């Protein structure tokens, strides 16, 4: 009982795709294990406050 050749060929072509899909799906979980989280790791926002020119332009364009 060797099996059908077309079934084995289909499995052989689907196996690398399935392995790649598993790697893509589980990569974030593997990356989470290597992150050193603590109270010293703080993400801050250091942008300046805008002058409000965008709102003025938006209102002006809506009226025109």
State how far the Cα of 61 lies from the Cα of 53, in Å rounded to an integer.
12
Q: Which two tokens stand for residue 36?
A: 């050193």
State how far the Cα of 12 lies from the Cα of 17, in Å rounded to an integer.
10
Model confidence at 9: pLDDT above 60: yes
Mean model confidence pLDDT for the chain: 76
Residue 25: what pLDDT? 93
Question: By C-alpha distance, which of 14, 10, 12 is closest to 22?
Answer: 14
pLDDT tens digits, one per residue of 24-53: 999 988 888 777 666 665 666 666 666 777
Residue 24: what pLDDT? 93
Residue 59: what pLDDT? 79
Residue 55: what pLDDT? 77
Query: Which residue matches tokens 């300046």?
Result: 48
Query: Which residue matches tokens 């899909």?
Result: 21
Chain CA centroid to CA 29, Å: 12
């Amino acid at each position: 009982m060797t099996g059908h050749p077309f079934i084995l060929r289909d499995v052989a072509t689907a196996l690398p795709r399935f392995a790649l899909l598993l790697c893509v799906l589980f990569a974030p979980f593997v990356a989470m294990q290597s992150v050193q989280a603590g109270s010293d790791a703080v993400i801050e926002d250091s942008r300046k406050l805008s002058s409000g020119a965008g709102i003025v332009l938006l209102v002006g364009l809506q009226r025109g």
